[in-house]
A and B are shown apart, each in its own frame.
Chain A
Amino acid sequence: MENENSKNPTRRKFLKNLSSGSALAVSGLAYFSVTSCKQASDEKTTLLTTDGKLVQVPNSEIEDLNHQHLPATPEESRIGIPGKKFVMVVDLAKCKNAKKCIEACDHTHNLTPDRPYIKVLEMQDNEKSSPYWMPKKCFQCDNPPCVKVCPVGATYKRTDGIVLVDNERCIGCRFCMAACPYSARVFNWGKPPGEDESIPYSPETSLPSQIGTVGKCDFCPDMLRNNKLPHCITACPNGVIYFGDEIDDTVTNGEETVRLSTLLKEKAGYRYMEELGTEPRVYYLPPVDRLFPFEETTQENSES
């Protein structure tokens, strides 16, 4: 199954061992020869490592720098980003159903509008209280029901808190979909249109989509690896979604960065359906003192 990525393990290992520092050296010293060196067999290139040594490396072992940014392989994706515990806070007081998060997510994950990862739900807790918009993604539970029921370990919990799906392992039994109390999962019932099959599959991007397997919001770990925010957060025009690291105790919506603990304390943050014991990693701030009045469909929020 791991055809694309395991065909040349040594190369991958080598690049990994070089680590980012010496990889930069590779690019600095030998970029020109690198681009054309793949086929040359015996020639060697002298490279400078981070600790100042010169090493001779056969050209066949050197790859174009672009390939460094290959998304993580299924094996690499099983281990989380070290030292991180990702967490999300959604401020319900700020959401006006602009749906930009859905748009951005659908675009990057090649999803059709009928089966998005993110949904903005119209919620009303009781008849007398006002309705509000509730953006909902995967809650990346610390006690994930979906992971418990998966018969083949296709969905798993990582050290950084993210629950991911390996679509090259998934057998399509859809037990996880039945088990998830938040209906966070979507299925690739058919072949998604416009799929770029040339890129190698990575669970961190969920691309290219695999027919007959399950998918869901993944907190965009490919972005996180590059110290960037997930697409939904940067796409939101109203700064509704905060994202960050529980260990650092900071979250940001792209505009302001705040202490996670302070935010949750001051604004009475809660987790949806705490009583299920799933321990979600997504917090909500109650829809009080709203920035926008609730409107079902306005010109602004319906066009997007």
Chain B
Amino acid sequence: MSKPNIELQKFRTKRGKRLLSHLITTSLQYKLWIAFLLILILLGLIGYYRQLRYGLVVTAMRDYTSWGIYISNFVFFVAISLVGSLFSSILKLNKNLWARPLTRISEIIAVAAIICAAVIIIVDMGRPDRIFYVITHLRIQSPIIWDVIIISTYLVISILLLYISLLPDIALCRDRLTQIPNWKKALYRITAINWHNHPKQIAMLQKVNKILAISVLPVAFAIHTITSWLFATTWRPGWDSTNLGPYFVSGAFMAGAAVIIIAMYFIRKHLKLSKYITLSHFDRMGKLLVLLSLVYLYFNINEYLGPAFKMVGVEGEHITELFVGKYAPMYWFVQLGGLVLPIILLFFKPFRKPLPILIIAIFVVLGAWLKRFLIVIPSLQHPYLPIQGVDESYLHYNPTWEEWAITFSSFAWLLLIITVLIKLFPVIPIKKYKQGSETVFKQNIF
């Protein structure tokens, strides 16, 4: 199937060089970026140290607002992680060849996001020292246990998807990069697990990749649907909804696509990959984002129209609070600035150019984060029985600096994992194999 000699020739060309060069050179900018992330992480660790020492009392969460930005951040990370399945499953199985250069970026983001989701949920626990009780004392009827199971499954599949498709490129790094530190040589040698582009190996790789691409899809849908069930299995206004599963999943795909656009922009700029991440990619991603946003818009209308029409009891109070109450500015910013406006703007071609679409994507991601805040917090502040007889501070929720520090540090972790993985491994798939008679990479973008 493959002809190693020819391929060796091929990779001695500009393409291989360009795609590998960022693994060898380290710019000052990169070092500053890493330092910046480490500072954020350090601040978060200080916040977490205080939380471990004094308890969750250092947060602004209290008996009514018992879940805060940790949980909304968790839902956000789970949402972002779905993007891996979008590229390596949906687009791949539909033979969208243009998306191939973005597959690895999406898989890296998926792995980083799901790791951060798992960590932030531990941060939210009152007793992180008892984390293993969810294994030793598990009760399968609890949606939290379903979430634990599905998150670990998705983590494993995501890592496998990333790693298996990386194998030929790791082997390439091992063979081509000779002027690198010894630890890096060892890293490539060990992680390449004796990959030699043998036809048998390639056949196996393609088979495994296909199995993974198919199996990741139901798991990805399940992971966010189950996360939505953490809310939908309760009686809280705004959560007690059968719409929540598809609403969460569609929102996740939208947020994930926006994250990919942001990542594309910066990777293209800093790794000088404009030949591989082209204007046409931004254009197509813009169209994809419109499609995904329209689906999400549909589920949004579905989610709010019914309760807003009926205005029943606390459900009505909750809706009022969102539409015209204290959460109204945030709510309309999210719905208009993070959903409706991006859809309208992205219909026009000039807005699908790199810079405009970057700005739009940033708004979408910001909206997506705030949306999860709006899903988690206002619901908890509208219980069936009135909030009385407690301290006045229990009525509000303004996250403390510890919570913000930990949240920002979780973003820093996400970016650090992504940055390090990009720094260590080729971010655009380099090796290409023929599949049957048809060449996989027919498009001119290479």
Q: Which residues of A contact B (CB under 8 A)?
A: 102, 114-116, 119-123, 136, 145, 148-154, 169-175, 177-179, 181-183, 185-191, 211-214, 273, 276
Contact = CB atoms under 8 A, between A and B. Distances in A.
Interface in B130-160: 130-131, 133-134, 137-139, 141-145, 148
B126 A151 contact: no
A182 B127 contact: no
B130 A151 contact: no
A186 B64 CA distance: 9
Q: State the 8 A-B residue pairs at the shortest beta-carbon distance, nearest first.
A: A172-B126, A190-B57, A212-B126, A151-B144, A114-B391, A189-B57, A151-B142, A152-B137
Nearest to B236: A178
A224 B61 CA distance: 34
B63 A153 contact: no
A171 B387 CA distance: 26
A151 B385 contact: no
A116 B126 contact: no
Interface stretch (B100-108, B227-235, B293-301): B227-235
Contacts of B125: 171-173, 212
Given A174-B66, A181-B384, A183-B383, A151 B148 contact: yes
Nearest to B143: A149
Given A150-B142, A171-B125, 15 more contacts: A121-B386, A121-B389, A145-B235, A149-B142, A151-B134, A152-B137, A154-B137, A170-B127, A174-B66, A181-B384, A183-B385, A187-B63, A190-B55, A213-B127, A276-B235
A170 B143 CA distance: 16
A170 B144 contact: no
Given A121-B389, A178-B234, A171 B142 contact: no
Nearest to B387: A183
12 contacts: A114-B394, A121-B386, A148-B142, A152-B139, A173-B124, A175-B144, A175-B230, A179-B235, A182-B383, A183-B63, A212-B126, A213-B127
A102 B388 CA distance: 13
Contacts of A186: 63
Contact of A189 (B62, B134, B144, B235): B62
A187 B130 contact: no
Contacts of A187: 56, 62-63, 66, 126
A169 B133 contact: yes
A189 B383 CA distance: 20
Interface string B207-226: 00000000000000000000
A229 B309 CA distance: 48
A152 B389 contact: no
A212 B56 contact: yes
Given A119-B388, A172-B56, A181-B235, A152 B138 contact: yes
Nearest to B131: A171
A179 B234 contact: yes
B63 A185 contact: yes
A116 B137 contact: no
B57 A171 contact: no
Contacts of B267: none
Contacts of B137: 152-154, 169
Interface string B233-262: 111100000000000000000000000000
Contact of B127 (A115, A119, A172, A183): A172
Contacts of A174: 66-67, 126
B390 interface: yes
A189 B66 CA distance: 10
Contact of B233 (A116, A149, A213): A149
Interface in B50-80: 54-57, 59, 61-64, 66-67
A295 to B, nearest CB: 16
A50 B143 CA distance: 50
A264 B57 CA distance: 42
A120 B384 contact: no
Nearest to A175: B144
Interface string B365-386: 0000000000000001001111
A148 B141 CA distance: 7
Contacts of A185: 63
A191 B62 CA distance: 14
Contacts of B133: 152, 169, 171
Nearest to B63: A186
Given A121-B389, A211-B55, A188 B126 contact: yes
Nearest to B383: A183
A123 B387 CA distance: 11
